[in-house]
Amino acid sequence: MICIDKKQFDDQGPIPMKLVAVGDGAVGKTCILHRYMNDTYSEEHIPTIFENSFMMVKIDKKTVQLGIWDTAGQEEYNRLRPLSYSNTDIFLIVFSVVDPESFDNALKKWYPELQQVQPKSLKVFVGNKIDLLESEQSKKKSQKNAPVNSQQVKQIVNELGCEYFECSAKSNQGIKELFLQSIQDGMNCKQKNQKPRKHQRCTLI
């Protein structure tokens, strides 16, 4: 009979984690993911159905095998979308800071949908397109439809027990910080949710 230290066994190899981005169409989910994975950005909007990728990430001397899932925000995919939610460690709930309706949907549609199927997973609210806040285009739009108030958003999100990050996929501002902190928090959340296990496993030979 050979006994293996279970803790030592668990420490071998990369830590598998799954991240899923959700949110309304055209808020920049795909652009955020591509900026992080490939450091690329495209102005062209091509609606996503489902897309997933894998990458290795170093966090605090640990290697994470991160599965990244992009989802469609359009209503016609409401039945298919939840199929990608299983075993997710981190959800990015993305909205546009210059589109208050997308934040309203983040609160009333996306967050409740995720809480219903994955209540213990980490949820991170992401305000994208902060590069537009100072642009002339945004100033004209804000006369009728003002951008979201960052302080109010942060307060609302914190009351839900979630984190809030602002970023720009176009300028790359805040992207690295968003993923670094989300992965770290996701690892802590995953460890907390795991059931205690025995440290030894014996194999009869």
- What was the pLDDT predicted at 44? 76
Mean pLDDT over 38-60 rounds to: 83
Query: Hey, which residues does 15 pair with through a beta bridge?
Result: 64
Neighbours of 65 (CB within 10 A): 14
Q: Which domains does the chain have, with CATH numbers?
A: 2-203 (3.40.50.300)
> Cα–Cα distance between 36 and 99 in angstroms, integer?
23
CA neighbor of 51 nearest in space, from 80, 72, 79, 28: 72
Look-up of token digits 């966090």: 59
Higher pLDDT, 148 or 140: 148
Look at 154-158, 172-176, 197-201 and tell me which has the smallest mean pLDDT: 197-201
> Cα–Cα distance between 103 and 147 in angstroms, integer?
10
Entry pTM: 0.85
Contact 172, 129 (CB under 8 A): no
